[in-house]
Amino acid sequence: MIKRVEVNYRGIFQKNLGKYIGGDIVQIASRMGKVAFSNGRYSDAPERNGIPCKYFAFVSPDLSEEELEAECGAKLDIDEADVSVVVDDTMVKGVEPWGWHGVRAINEKVREKGCLLVVSQHTHDNLLQFIPRLPFSWRLASVEGPASLAGLWVYKDDLTRERVLGAIAAVDPGIIAIEAVEAYLLERTTDKHRAEAARASYDATLRNIRVVKAGEGAEWHHEIPRLPTWKEFEDGGVVVPAVPRGFKMGPRGQTRNDAFKRGTTKSHRPVIRFDLCIKCTLCWYDCPDECFDPTDDGLYDVNYEVCVGCHKCAEVCPVPECIVMVDELKFNSDASPWEHHKKDAQGYIKWAEEKKGLDRIHYPHVTGTGMEIREGKYVPPKPEKGGAAAGAKA
């Protein structure tokens, strides 16, 4: 018997988290006398910020290491998953890791009675708005909390790792048992709080597993691209046809590469108040992915299909509240916001402010600087205790 776990994570920001969870499963399972190993979907590894990636762990109570490796190790992707972990819930909208791969459903690999385990602050109903239906019954569980996002060389030690391990033990004790998780964490870290976090997450997850019936869930409209045979493309066909030059004014006016849109890379999207825009061009100019389409009224529409949520536009926009990054899961459409604004400016402003909300903390994970809004008001950063100057003297 083989138990398969996949960890869907955001490239760079959760690189270490994904790898650590995979490695932890191997070490815990082997403490339990099982054979296990872990690897990543290697094509994901030249990671870029936010790209959806996968890490795997395979556990067997009865196979030899060689057989387990033969079944699971020589493959690029997992056949099916007993547990698909998602460490950033915005990936439930679909994942497109690289070109010619298509946008894939987050539960594509979840097997019958298997579990999709999502780190999320959203309700199961909310998540199911985005997750496509399957022809069989499966389970949805969550670890309550925000996505743990860090940098390339950084691992954010916020107990997400321990809590995910506890939750995996809850949804499928055949992979790892909670007692083994606790023993492992205690031995590895000698920190009982880590074991307690895993146990608390285990208990909370057990209380809240949603059985999703066959056919329950969202419509899915992304097709998996068919790759041509060796006779079907041009001899020496490493030359990919260029995207035609030029653009038209207006929404979706720029020509783009359809083989790789990258929109599933974002965990936040820029919400734009067109009425506040001073037409300074900075968002359009600085966007690394050229997501802003100039419109004939001097504004800049944003194309959410290709926006990767890098926060750059929100950082360079000189007008407070004009471009604000908002949790991607609050949206279920990639339609043009400029068209919405054009049709109904007041309605759009109300809608945009609702999405932004009155309470938010905005810390772009690239720069680490940001701002806090409480009850709709900007909260200036508190001076550090002792002050920076005192620290410098010491």
Partner 1 sequence: MATVAEKTNVWEKEVLLNGCQAVAQGVKLANVDVIAAYPIRPYTEVMDALSKLIADGEFDSEYIVADSEHSQFEIVKHASSVGARAFGGSSGTGWMYGFEALVVTATDRLPPLFVVGNRALDDPGAFGVEHNDALALRDMGWLLCWASTAQEALEHVLIGYRIAEDSRILMPMALAMDGAFLTHSQHMLKVPTQEAVNRFLPSFDLGKRVLHPDNPVSIAPQVNEDWVMELRRQNWEAARRARTIIPEVYKSFNDIFGPRYDNPFFDEFLCEDAEVVLVGLGAVKMPAQTAVRRMREQGKKVGYVNLRWFRPFPHEQLRATLGRMKGVGVIDRNFAIGSPDNGGIVVQDIRSALYPLAKRPVVTDFIGGLGGRDMSIADCVRMLEITLDAANGKQGDELVTWIGLRE
Which residues of the chain form contacts with partner 1 (CB under 8 A)? 19, 22-23, 26-27, 30, 36-40, 42-43, 45-46, 65-67, 69-71, 73-76, 227-231, 238
Rounded to an integer, what is the distance from CA 271 to the centroid of its chain?
19
Q: Which of 175, 178, 180 is nearest to 200 (CA)?
A: 178
Q: Nearest approach, Cβ of 69 to partner 1 (angstroms)?
A: 4
To the nearest 10 degrees (0 to 180), the angle between helices 178-189 and 160-171 is 160
- One-character DSSP codes across 305-360: TT----SHHHHH--STTTEEEEEGGG------HHHHHHH-HHHHHHHHHHHH-S-E
CA 216 – CA 386 distance, rounded (Å): 55
Q: Which lies closer to partner 1 via its Cβ, residue 23 or residue 132?
A: 23
Residue placing its CB nearer to partner 1 in the complex, 259 or 280? 259
272: amino acid identity, one letter: I
R_g of the chain computed on alpha carbons: 23
Nearest-angstrom CA–CA distance, 364 and 206: 33
Tell the smallest beta-carbon distance from residue 71 to partner 1 (Å).
Answer: 7
Nearer to partner 1, 70 or 278 (CB): 70
Q: β-strand 52-60 against 81-86: which pairing, if any?
A: unpaired
- Minimal distance, residue 4 CB to partner 1, in Å: 14
Rounded to a whole number of angstroms, the minimum distance from the CB of residue 307 to partner 1 is: 25
Nearer to partner 1, 70 or 211 (CB): 70
Q: Residue 134 Cβ, how far from partner 1 at the closest point, in Å? A: 25
Shortest distance, position 374 Cβ to partner 1, whole Å: 41
Q: Given the complex with partner 1, which of 242 and 388 has the nearer CB atom?
A: 242
Q: Which is nearer to partner 1, 42 or 245 (CB)?
A: 42
